Structure 1
C-alpha cells in the first residue's frame, strides 16, 4: 500500500479531532529556506552536552532548534542525558564508587542532582548539573527556542512516552503554538515513535535511522520525519523519503546527524535534507548558502 493510502487510513481511524491541531513545518527555517540547523545536545562542541549551559550557548550562537535526550531515574523523574550510564558525562564514579555500572535507572533524581555534569568538559563548567526535563524545557522556552526531543532507550523505561507527553503538556508544550512548529519527538525505536503518535497525534514525530525504501510506507503512517546518520545518506534516498506523505499530510522530512564540518554540511544540503543536526551550529550555518 502506498504511504498516502496508509496515512489516509490512519487519519480516518484517529478521527477529525486530529485536524484541530496545525501541522508542524520544520522546513520553514529561520534562515529563509536553508536546511534547519539543530544544536545537537545543545551546542555541545562548546558546552557540556545536554546541560542548560549547552542550551544557553546554542541561544548565544543564534540557534533556534536544540536537540536533547530523555531518560528516567529510579524514582520516576525524567532527566536529560544521552548515555544509559552516568559514567561518561558526570563524576558518578567518584561520588558513588560502589555503584557500578552507574546506570541512570538505578539512581534517584536526588542522587543524580548531586553529580557534576560539566567538569569533564572543562573547568569553566564544573558544577553544572544533569537537568530534569522540566528544567530543560523551561530553559528552551526562556530562549524562545524549539525542541527536537529524543526518547532514549524506551525499552528500559516502560510508559516513558506517556510520561514525557504529560510533562510536555503540563509545561504548555502541547498547545497549538508549540505543536505548529516548535516540537518534534523522535526515537531510534519505531514502537516508541508509533506510541507517541497514537497517544498525541498532533505531535510531530521522527524516526532515527535509515529504513529501506520498501518500508517507508509503514513509517509514514506514524512518523513525519526519517532522520538518518549522514554517512547513510544519498540524494536518491532523500528524494525517496520526500515522495511519501506523513501522518500530517505533508511530505516526510529528513533531518540528518551529526554533521560538524562545512564540507559535509554542504554535501547533505545538496542532497536536499530538511535539517542538519550538529554539535557546531555556527559552523554548519556558515557553510550553508542563502536561498
Structure 2
C-alpha cells in the first residue's frame, strides 16, 4: 500500500470543492448544482489509464470521483485494466512474446506484476504497474476519493460479481458512508448488474448503454443510473430516464461518457444529466464552473 497523507488530505479537500462550484443558469435550472465530474480511468489524458498514478493525478487535480475497470487473472485475482488484452497498455509482448493474444485471463497475477503499465504513456511513468483491485481501493481511499467501478466483460469471469463485492467489503467499501455517497458499480452487462443488486441491494448501480425508452422500466428495477455515451444523449432521453424511479425509490440518474472538451461539457450538462465522465476532468470542471480561472 502506498500511503500519501498530504495527498490524501489535499485530495479530500479539493474533491469537496469540486461540488461547490457555481452552476451556469441552465445547469441551475436543471439541477440546482453542476453535474458530478468523474475522472475516466483516473485522469487518463494525463497519466496511464487505470493505474495508481492516474488516480493520484486525478486527486491532484481535485477530482473527487474516479472510474475504473475490473477484470480477473488466471489465478483468480482481481486487477484494474480496461482491455481484455494486456497488449495496448503494458509491455507484455516484450516480456511474454509467445503468449498472444495476451488476454488478462491467461496470465497469473505474478506474471502481470512483472509488466510495465506506464512506459507506453510516457517515460516518467516507467515502472507503473497494473494494480490489483485491493491496491486500487486503498489508493482511492487514501486520497479521499469516490469510485465508479465497472465490472469489465463479466461474462468472461463467472462469479466476478460476488468476488468483487467480497473485496469491497474486505476493504471497507460496503459500510454506510461508502454505500450512500462514495460507491457506484456499473457494467455493460445487465445480468451482472442484476446480480450485484441481488447480492447487495444497498449498492448503487448503473447500466452502461442506451436502452430504448420502452425498456427503461425493466432497468429501473435494479439500476439507479442509465449511463450512455454522450453522443446518444438527448433532452428527450434524459427526461424519459428522470421519469422513472430506481430500486432505491429515487429518480433515475444519467451519467454520460466520454466528454473531454469544454463545449461538449456545457451542452451535455445543459441537457440535465447528473454526471459527466471525462479523460480531462479538470477541463470539464472548469467549463461547468462558468469561470475563466
* 1:131 counterpart residue number: 131
* Structure 2: gaps (5+ residues): 1-17, 22-32
Partner of 1:103: 103
Alignment map for 1:180-219 (pairs within 5 Å)? 180-219=180-219
> SS state of the match for residue 66, structure 1?
strand
Instruction: Render the CA deviation track for 1:156-190: whole Å, top value 9, x for unaligned.
Output: 00000000000000000000010011000000000
Secondary structure in 1 matching 2:186: strand
- The RMSD of aligned alpha carbons is 1.3
- SS in structure 1 at match of 2:253: coil
Task: Report the Cα distance in structure 2 between the residues aligned to 1:97 and 1:177, rounded to whole angstroms.
Answer: 45
Q: How does 1:159-198 map to 2 (within 5 A)?
A: 159-198=159-198
What is the CA distance between 1:76 and its match in structure 2? 0.3
CA offsets, 1:81-140, max 9 Å, x none?
000000000000000000000000000000000000000000000100000000000000
SS at match of 1:207: strand
Indicate the residue corresponding to 2:140 in structure 1: 140
Instruction: Name the counterpart of 2:26.
Output: none
**1:31 and 2:26 matched:** no
- Across the two proteins, how many residue pairs are aligned to each other? 264
Offset at 1:31?
A: 2.9
Q: Say if 2:122 is the partner of 1:122.
A: yes
State the match for 2:253 in structure 1. Answer: 253
CA distance, structure 2, for counterparts of residue 65 and residue 136 of structure 1:
13
TM-score (norm 1): 0.89
- Counterpart CA distance in 2 for 1:180 and 1:226 is 18
Measured against aligned partners, the alpha-carbon deviations of 1:233-279 in whole angstroms (never above 9, x if no partner) come to: 10110111011000001000000000000010011101000000000
The alpha-carbon deviation at position 289 of structure 1 amounts to: 3.6
Q: Residues of 2 paired with 1:230 and 1:243: CA distance?
A: 19
Which consecutive aligned stretches of 4+ in structure 1 deviate over 3 angstroms post-superposition? Answer: none
* In structure 1, C-alpha distance between the alignment counterparts of 2:78 and 2:255, rounded to whole Å: 25
**Aligned position for 1:265:** 265
The TM-score with structure 2 as length reference comes to: 0.89
Give the equivalent residue in structure 2 for 1:49.
Answer: 49
Provide the rounded CA distance (Å) in 1 between the counterparts of 2:166 and 2:289: 39
Q: Secondary structure in 1 aligned to 2:149?
A: strand
Query: What does residue 283 of structure 1 align with?
Result: 283
C-alpha displacement at 1:30, in angstroms? 1.7
Task: Give 3-state SS (helix, strand or coil) of 1:277's partner.
Answer: strand
Equivalence for 2:5: none
SS in 2 for 1:271: coil
Q: How many angstroms does 1:223 deviate by?
A: 0.3
Q: Secondary structure at the match of 1:191?
A: helix
